Amino acid sequence: MRGLGRAKRIGVVAGAGALVLAWVLVGCDSVMEAIGESLPTGRAEPCPEGGVRLAEGEGNAAMGLRVADFQLVNCGSAAYVLEGYPEIRLLDGEGRPLQVDIGHGTNGVTASAAGEDGPLQRVTLQPGQAATTGLLWRNLVTDSTVPAVEGRVLELVPKPGAPRLTLRLNTPVDLGDTGKLGLSSWSALAR
């Protein structure tokens, strides 16, 4: 048994050595690409106009009820104040707006109070802090004559008068033919 452990260590060291040698011979970009990684560019993306950046969070599709959350990160140098709900719009893969009934809270997507908002809170984001908002929907097809809707791009206005932010989604909002989406109010992101 002891010989097997030593053989594993030798294999790991040899594999690491081969990776380093390949890195030197063909260049680190090629090796990183081959193993599915990308190198950090050393430069951060510039902060968008308005001082905030939109990011896609985790989603969940348990029991047919789907949720997705989105974070708004203050990448600017001043405090950023949010209150209430963002304004959102879903677009298809070609950038065309989708006809979707977007309502506050659960918007009738579920009868459960789990997605209901409490009293609206004022959220002040200091530089580097984030807030979150969420979407709630069901993927149902109840009428085969109605085309299923799939949002691939989210447009979001964080607060009245703020610039519109656009985010291409990694996970689409697959509404089926329900055309109904619930939206939660802004809340501070717990760290």
Residue-wise pLDDT tens digits, 59-103: 887 767 899 999 999 999 999 999 999 999 999 999 999 999 999
**Residue 154: both structure tokens together:** 């989210």
Is the pLDDT reported for residue 112 higher than 70? Answer: no
Under the banding of pLDDT at 50, 70 and 90, the label for residue 160 is very high
Enter the pTM of the model.
0.73
Under the banding of pLDDT at 50, 70 and 90, the label for residue 116 is low
Residue 118: predicted pLDDT: 73
SS3 of 177, please? coil
Calpha distance 154→57 (Å, rounded): 13
Q: Is the CB of residue 188 less than 8 Å from the CB of residue 86?
A: no
Residue 129: predicted pLDDT: 97
Under the banding of pLDDT at 50, 70 and 90, the label for residue 114 is low
Q: Can you list the pairs that 159-164 forms with residues at least 24 positions away whose Cβ atoms lie under 8 Å? A: 159/81, 159/82, 159/83, 159/84, 159/86, 160/87, 162/50, 162/52, 163/48, 163/49, 163/50
How are beta strands 180-183 and 101-104 bridged, if at all?
A: parallel
Calpha distance 82→189 (Å, rounded): 12
Is the pLDDT reported for residue 29 higher than 90? Answer: no
Per-residue pLDDT, averaged over 31-55, amounts to 68
Higher pLDDT, 158 or 9: 158
Residue 132: predicted pLDDT: 96
Is the pLDDT reported for residue 9 higher than 80? Answer: no
